[in-house]
Structure 1
Amino acid sequence: MGKLSFLKKLKSDNDPTNDIVLKIQSGDRLLKEKFIHDYTPFILKTVAQITGKYVDTENSEEYSVALMAFDEAIDCFDINKNKSFLGFSDLVINRRVIDYLRKIKKERNVFPFTYFESEANNDFREKYMPQYSTVRLDNIEIKEEIILFKERLSSFGITLENLAKSMPKHKDSKIMCIKIAKIIANDDKLFNKLNRTKHLPMSELMKLVDVHQTTIERNRKFIIAASIIINSGLDVIKSYLLFMEEGGERHD
């Protein structure tokens, strides 16, 4: 896993498709058909990123699921809740395709996704899952976590993009922020207040840490994000955060 490289995968808030979707929602069916046709490359690219394989529009079940998800996103998009239609549709497509792949996995009664990442099990995967032999199933797990993480962050007005930009550059600063985040995450009153107000419980926090308030405010987004991760079931992302706290850096 790169240096939180997944944080850089985001759409701009200034999404030119927003106005088009609003017109479609007003009842322009012809515009909807043209819009879906024009954004077929976007849908294909999103599916390819999820599955890690070439997408055949004629025979791909994943593409069919993604197409329905894109249509669903058009109908459900709310400009008051979502700044970007492309960002919103990306979430909907990811969730629907991942749900589909998990359903297939369950029906086949196969081993957990991580099992198939062992090189010793490649023969098993090729024999029993030939149509998914090129799919990075471990990526599906991290993608689902990122979707959930993005949704949690958005309720605080934070995107992965501005989180990446505001991340502390120095190792010591990262470790300090994670320790502060742990204090918040492990204290029910502080964590509940964080979720209720969407702001750091600064007055309470200053009584518990020997850090200047300006430093905490400067790293506000990272501390909030770390608190969310620590007090969550996002195990893959959490393992990276704990590795970072130990002073390590991953380059795989």
Structure 2
Amino acid sequence: MGPIRIKSWFKSKHSKLGSDLETQVSKAQNGDECIRHDLLEQYRPFIKKVASKACKRYISESMDEYSIGLLAFNEAIDQYDKEQGNKFLTFASVVIHRRIIDHIRKESRHNYVLLNEEEDEEGNVQENVIERRTSIEKYEIELESKARAEEIFEYQKLLLTYDITFEVLTSQCPKHIDARENAKKIAKVVYENHHIRSYLEEKRRLPVSELEDIVACSRKTIERNRKYIIAMALIYIGNFTTLKSYIEPEGGLK
């Protein structure tokens, strides 16, 4: 096959998946396995790039991390929701990164157990084992910090689609602890109620009248804390695992 044919084949292949990637993803979600296969094939370099970035080293297709990235990309195809406003590749990169980080954490915990077992005959932990254990703990802290930073970045982008900035969120955060906790409970109701959640995602606003009927709050209270409630609900809707720990009963976004 000569250069012209190769170029022509690549061009037709690219145009098949081509200008509207999100439409192709939608077709794959609806059962078009040929398009799904083509997406997985075409975006192999993208998957390797994201996996390598997450691992901070080059990842080849023979490595476990690449396989995890490939599965994560396929998972992203299934979970992608165009209505949330993100481009598919942005969403896919987040899913791949999360799965790779989860894998690294799992491996780190496994290595930590192995290190704990490396003792001398008298039961004393070897000095080099302590050094390696410290290194693993430090690496896990770095991973946690990086994952949190990336989640905050994605969360910020999602908030903007609802016309909410961090500055607005800070200014409209309820001043009293009880009011904050109550707003978080309402946010959980929004997330768990399929109809209200769908309304929020479609209209980008709360169905206040419906909420008033099912929560122990006045319309005035819901309206006053509207943006804060939406922001808390989006943490659940976006499945921001790290941020979610801050809004559970024992924590709170200050």
* TM-score normalized by the length of structure 1: 0.51
CA–CA separation in structure 2 for the residues paired with 1:109 and 1:126: 12
Considering Cα pairs closer than 8 Å and 6+ residues apart, tell me whether 1 or 2 has the greater RCO: 1
The verdict on how the C-alpha distance between 1:137 and 1:50 changes in structure 2, with shifts beyond 3 A counting, is: farther
Cα contact 2:50–2:96 (8 A) shared by 1: yes
Amino acid corresponding to residue 137 of structure 1 in structure 2: E
Cα distance, 1:126–1:61 mapped onto 2, change above 3 Å: farther
C-alpha RMSD over aligned residues: 5.0
Matches within 5 A, 1:15-164: 16-25=20-29, 28-51=32-55, 53-77=56-80, 84-109=87-112, 127=132, 137-145=140-148, 159-162=158-161
Q: What SS does structure 2 have at the residue aligned with 1:168?
A: helix
Kept in 2: contact 1:55–1:63 (CA 8 A): no
For the pair 1:184 / 2:175, whether they are aligned, the reply is: no
Distance 1:80 1:60, change over 3 A: same
Unaligned runs of 5+ in 1: 1-14, 112-122, 207-212, 243-252
Structure of greater Rg: 2
User: Shift of the alpha carbon at 1:26?
Assistant: 5.2
Cα distance, 1:162–1:126 mapped onto 2, change above 3 Å: farther
CA drift of 1:203 comes to 1.0
Residue 11 (structure 1) aligns with: none
Distance 1:22-1:204 versus aligned 2 partners, 3 A rule: closer
How far apart, in 2, do the equivalents of 1:20 and 1:162 lie?
23
Which structure has greater helix proportion?
Answer: 2
Once residues 81 and 31 of structure 1 are traced to their aligned partners in structure 2, the CA distance between those partners, rounded to angstroms, is 22
Aligned partners of 1:148 and 1:94: how far apart in 2?
10
Residues 69 and 93 of structure 1 are in contact (CA less than 8 Å); yes or no, is this contact kept in structure 2? yes
Question: Residue type of the partner of 2:20?
Answer: P
Deviation at 1:73, TM superposition (A): 2.8
Identity of aligned residues (%): 23
Instruction: Please tell me the residue identity of whatever aligns with 2:179.
Output: I
Cα distance, 1:168 vs structure 2: 1.9
Aligned length: 191
Structure 2 CA distance for aligned equivalents of residues 181 and 140 of structure 1: 33
